[in-house]
Structure 1
């Protein structure tokens, strides 16, 4: 069995992965700064995720931006699962230094240590993100080729035209699954930092003889996800608003889609990335391969909670948001043996059952929107 370091191991993906690895007999070390935005001001009482791993792993409270914390955490470690990151796409557009320092700077410190000091590390697995793709992949009948639309212009969105366009195409484009060799063109600071993380890990690890794997996770959800962080996924944001009796504002026309993947599938894929031999140098999309629109998500949540709040399709939009993206997971199926087990219907049922067992959280969504308005990112 291996000794595995999980950075960000008290987070949503990290804690669930840590618990499964421990159950399989691995020794797990967690390095996490217990950010109040995720874990509250007193993690011993306000963070179920931290409480779930406390006493079951070797826990180091520290930061990936600290070389000393990295050196302590890497002692005797065979595999590094690097999940620690600042993760809010919208927030990244105005907290730029914070995101770059944590996501790129923290990864650079890890790689500098692996390059210049003696360690036992044999493989590094890093979380990239679907955000590195920006807008998804489309097929154009007119051009008889796949195309990758750029960011949608503000003047079009302000007039209620939210569909993507591509030069030379007058007919609607057909959305298809995004493959790992699709164009990389992130539309946010967060996306850029995740792109660079992956590139650094693959390039440096190859040069020093350490195996590297990266995961481009889609929209992860499930029991244990933070219900108080207004920069987390829309299922949590919408759930907190519904439980507070507040209406839901659907951006654009509600037809924008994402690939929602249940936490258990993410954990299974991640552990395959830690353990399957012969996959070094590969990046993998991890999702379901199914696109679900945001209006459907809101209505399904209302149905499961049995709470009727108004759902408004407002035409509001955030600059830099993408229209569509869902994963082509053929490569993960072939090389990892990954197969998602949870449909969205089953996953959302389990998620809402869990939410119903939790205390109703303060709804901080409006304050996050006000921040974006002040920065000119919300229209």
Structure 2
């Protein structure tokens, strides 16, 4: 196994993080600073109100290493990439519901923007490795015709007994069958990364994030993603929890601290060269289970079954053997611990639920 000290090779390195002001990007840049690296964040900073970036994510537009800009700005991207030792491309329209509502915007940012970054990386020999941030959404609901391996049967049969459905385990070789516009853009991004950077011999790695959560994640209007944040905020305000489709969807919930560390390990691990790696826990958790964990903190919370929104997959969980072998690492924060941490943070940061509080007061 690797140890934390192995990330010390990043000390002194300049790392361009597109989307570096968001939840994941800001946590990656914070870890990079701790390691003695110089992160440069490229972000539009228009996905949230200004106070979210400053007060919750700790990102200030006036900071020298924060560049306000768009990944589709070819000249700006070329300039920043030309000064970087490593690149993490995390910028995207990442809200599944928003991508469904605005497919052209998703294509513009997630496809055209990714091509701009790839062109810039391919044009320089300075970048040691680029990590493309993909998503478990590429798997959709999995492949029903695939045969279960014997070591999965006990867990799957238990889940089937409890929840009426056997959740698929997603391996990196599992056929991609996205159910959303967002997932489609990530499939394209993976293939294009391999094509463009493979042709010029630039090292790359592709990481498929499973369901990211954790403080200081905050909810946004018209989104059904981010189940821990949504449930905790609603319960905190005494509102019922909406279980879309009865809450039988399965998610592999990965705390943002682990997501950030896994991404950095993909950036420097020799074995991650040209590899696709899941970043997950290997633990299937139903949406209803998340609701029950939140209800444990707010005992008077009630559940309401609601319809399944478009593009919301029934989901599955990560196969993590390759992650453990390639990165020499696995996530540390359990779902129960992560929910506890989020609720504690929300209670100490009540302003995080202000938008929902105002919306439900009218």
TM-score (norm: length of structure 2): 0.85
Residue 257 (structure 1) aligns with: 250
Residue 24 (structure 2) aligns with: 13
1:283 aligns with 2:276: yes
Residue 79 (structure 1) aligns with: 86
Residue 223 (structure 1) aligns with: 215
Structure 2 segments unaligned to the other structure (5+ residues): 1-11, 151-159
Alignment of 1:258-337 (within 5 A): 258-304=251-297, 306=298, 308-314=300-306, 316-337=307-328
Aligned to 1:215, what secondary structure does the other structure show? strand
Alignment of 1:141-152 (within 5 A): none
Alignment of 1:140-289 (within 5 A): 174-228=166-220, 230-231=222-223, 232-289=225-282
Whether the aligned pair in 2 keeps the contact of 1:28 and 1:57 (CA below 8 Å) is no
Matching residue within 129, 145, 148 for 1:123 = 129
Alignment of 1:336-347 (within 5 A): 336-347=327-338
1:68 aligns with 2:75: yes
Q: How many residues align?
A: 335
Structure 1 segments unaligned to the other structure (5+ residues): 147-163, 165-171, 368-379
Take 1:295 and 1:366, find their aligned partners in 2: how far apart are those partners?
A: 24
Whether the aligned pair in 1 keeps the contact of 2:96 and 2:311 (CA below 8 Å) is no
Take 2:108 and 2:212, find their aligned partners in 1: how far apart are those partners?
A: 24
- Quick one: structure 1 residues 56 and 330, their matched pair in 2 at CA, closer, same or farther if it must change by over 3 Å? farther
Take 1:245 and 1:68, find their aligned partners in 2: how far apart are those partners?
A: 49
Take 1:46 and 1:203, find their aligned partners in 2: how far apart are those partners?
A: 34
Whether the aligned pair in 2 keeps the contact of 1:230 and 1:364 (CA below 8 Å) is no
TM-score (norm: length of structure 1): 0.81
Take 1:270 and 1:364, find their aligned partners in 2: how far apart are those partners?
A: 34
- Quick one: structure 1 residues 67 and 263, their matched pair in 2 at CA, closer, same or farther if it must change by over 3 Å? same
**Higher helix proportion:** 2
Take 1:261 and 1:57, find their aligned partners in 2: how far apart are those partners?
A: 31
Deviation sequence 1:142-180 (CA, Å, 0-9, x none):
x7889xxxxxxxxxxxxxxxxx9xxxxxxx874342100
Take 1:139 and 1:175, find their aligned partners in 2: how far apart are those partners?
A: 13
Take 1:46 and 1:70, find their aligned partners in 2: how far apart are those partners?
A: 22
Whether the aligned pair in 2 keeps the contact of 1:6 and 1:30 (CA below 8 Å) is yes
Q: Which moved more, 1:129-138 or 1:346-355?
A: 129-138
Deviation for aligned residue 1:345 = 0.9
Deviation sequence 1:278-335 (CA, Å, 0-9, x none):
321111111111111111211211222x362321123x12233221311001100011
Deviation sequence 1:51-87 (CA, Å, 0-9, x none):
3466776110001111122123223101100000001
